[in-house]
Structure 1
Amino acid sequence: MKITQGIWIPAFIALLVPMLAYAQQNEELLRVKPDRCIALRQGQYCYQKLEFSWATSGDQKFCLLSKGRVEPLVCWQGKKLTLFEYEFKSSQDQAFVLIELSSGKILDEVEVDVAWVYKSSKKVSTGWRLF
């Protein structure tokens, strides 16, 4: 049984096309650096300058939002904006979404994790000891 080269090419293309479509659907559009903010103690606010970057195509209007908030952080038309700096302040993890404004479709989502150096203790210490 001999398989000719003519069969391999269409078979390869048939396998490659769905893989390329899947890769395009899962393409990372939105990135954030750093993606972790570290506070000194658990429950304290973490302060960090975040840098968002993205790759959008087309001439639509896009917005970057902090998930759970109504007001967008920034909006732009087409490819006019590809970078945004944001002063982050939070005591818990926060998700950010990139949306296409006219449809409201979420194109991508990133999360900034909040971590801490010391776990908060429930015991209050006065610093004084009695004998």
Structure 2
Amino acid sequence: MYFRSINYLYLLTALLPFKTLAEVNLNEIDHFAVTPNKCIALRKGRPCYAIVSVNWKKLNIGNYCLRNSKSKQIMQCWTAQNAGIYQYEFNSEKNQSFELVNTKTGHVSGKAGIKVHWVYTNKQKKRRWRLF
């Protein structure tokens, strides 16, 4: 009885790394990321400035476009590519998200974004007039 449970334990530890290795390989095939994914402004409501890099990689070669998720404005397109890099100067006080779209099918292949955080909130102090 004791030997049987040890055999199952050895079998489980032997098969566990293969499953995680397969999951890592699947994630490496399709890749879509925005770096940095956070931008920190000094105060709430002020714009945040950063140089943002959008990296993507696909298994199949195709025609892809990078667009803003909210406004649907196309930022960059690639023809007959399976990977690409796009850099731009981020200047916004709100979060932005991006989509990678296959132009032939119209299918959204990936979504990523950048979040704006701040260090200080705006605190309005009531100031009263004083004569003395």
- TM-score after normalising by structure 2: 0.70
SS at structure 2 position matched to 1:70: coil
Aligned residues: 116
Cα distance, 1:71 vs structure 2: 2.2
Q: Does structure 1 retain, via aligned residues, the 8 Å contact 2:67–2:100?
A: yes
| Distance in 2 of aligned mates of 1:26 and 1:77 | 21
Partner residue in 1 for 2:88:
86
Distance change (3 Å), C-alpha of 1:118 and 1:75: same
Cα distance, 1:111 vs structure 2: 1.5
| Distance in 1 of aligned mates of 2:32 and 2:126 | 43
Percent of paired sites with the same residue: 29
More helix by share: 2
2:48 pairs with 1:50: no
Distance change (3 Å), C-alpha of 1:121 and 1:30: same
| Distance in 2 of aligned mates of 1:38 and 1:47 | 8
Cα distance, 1:25 vs structure 2: 8.0
Partner residue in 2 for 1:4:
none
SS at structure 2 position matched to 1:55: strand
SS at structure 2 position matched to 1:120: coil
| Distance in 1 of aligned mates of 2:119 and 2:40 | 7
2:123 pairs with 1:121: yes
Q: Does structure 1 retain, via aligned residues, the 8 Å contact 2:30–2:58?
A: no
Distance change (3 Å), C-alpha of 1:66 and 1:39: same
Distance change (3 Å), C-alpha of 1:89 and 1:97: same
- TM-score after normalising by structure 1: 0.70
Residues 16-41 of structure 1, C-alpha deviations (whole Å, 9 max, x = no match) = 7xxx69x8489652111111111110
Q: Does structure 2 retain, via aligned residues, the 8 Å contact 1:63–1:98?
A: yes
Partner residue in 2 for 1:73:
75
Cα distance, 1:104 vs structure 2: 1.4
| Distance in 2 of aligned mates of 1:65 and 1:55 | 16
Cα distance, 1:45 vs structure 2: 0.8
Residues 42-79 of structure 1, C-alpha deviations (whole Å, 9 max, x = no match) = 01111111011110233321011111123211000132
Partner residue in 1 for 2:99:
97
